[in-house]
Amino acid sequence: MAPSTMFGAAFGMRLRVLRRHFLRRRRRWRSRRRGGPARKGEEEEDEGREPVLLVSGMGGSVLHARRRSNPKFDLRVWVRIVLADLEFKKYLWSLYNVDTGCVEPLDDDVEIVVPEDDHGLFAIDILDPSWFVELLNLSMVYHFHDMIDMLVDCGYEKGTTLFGYGYDFRQSNRIDKAMAGLRAKLETAYKASGGKRVNIISHSMGGLLVRCFLSMNHDIFSKYVNKWICIACPFQGNALLIG
């Protein structure tokens, strides 16, 4: 079987397993809302729902360009359809700085950031949210959109038991900003849910980011994380990149 076929099959199987799990919980939640009888232990399970943190993969975070000289300037540069080439060249073309270990824009006045709206979920939901795209009935670029909707439908609440973590995927996973951001998000989810440990669902490169965090912050990971579910994470590399 070709590597691409194996990759797609594994990804699809994991999504189906997750979907069945959350659909079962959704059916129980809807039954209780309609006044139906709850099975033994279901009420306690609902009250003790553990928070979920979704971690995006390569290219799976909205990126905005901001100008240090103009606080009001805020432009989405990834993903983008209208004037994509122009804005990409103007703001996302970068160079690697050996002193800082970071990829930095050619324009010193530009800063690339990940929006934190909607408890981090906005940046990993629909990657090209635009009225123009909707008006022309074009296909939007979804990432965690369907899973977010499914979890909310199951009773998870944004900002209490559901969070997202997007990051600048052009950077190394080991930079302090990425590690500090993930730590802060875990702490936020832990506190917002009343001290319940977090279940992480990571996709692709997001799994490498979490693994890096685990290796560098094992004590923090053990304190805040309950379970970690990986979807299509290339822990042994990607065969498609070889040869």
- Most confident of the ranges 8-12, 170-174, 209-213: 209-213
Q: Enumerate the domain spans of the chain.
A: 50-60+116-241
CB 54 within 8 A of CB 146: no
Model confidence at 43, in pLDDT bands (50, 70, 90)? Answer: very low
Kindly state the percentage of the chain with pLDDT values over 70.
73
Mean pLDDT of the chain: 83
- pTM recorded for the entire structure: 0.79
- Which residue, among 240, 60, 47, 237, has the nearest Cα to 160 in the 3D structure? 47
Looking at residue 19, what is its pLDDT?
A: 59
Instruction: Report the pLDDT averaged over residues 18-47.
Output: 54
Query: What is the rounded CA–CA span in Å between residue 70 and residue 57?
Result: 30
Q: Which two tokens stand for residue 199?
A: 């279940």
Number of H helices, E strands in the chain: 8, 9
Q: What is the pLDDT of residue 3?
A: 43
pLDDT for position 227: 97
User: For residue 82, which phi and psi values (nearest 5 degrees)?
Assistant: -70, 125
69 or 136: whose pLDDT is higher? 69
Candidate CATH numbers 3.40.50.720, 3.40.50.1820, 3.40.50.300, 3.30.70.920; the one for domain 50-60+116-241: 3.40.50.1820
7-153-203 Cα angle (round to 5): 25
132-182 pLDDT tens trace:
666 666 667 788 999 999 999 999 999 999 999 999 999 999 899 999 999
Q: Distance between CA 173 and CA 166 in Å, rounded? A: 12
* pLDDT tier at 240, thresholds 50, 70, 90: low
Beta strand segments in 51-140, E: 52-55, 63-67, 70-78, 94-97, 102-105, 110-113
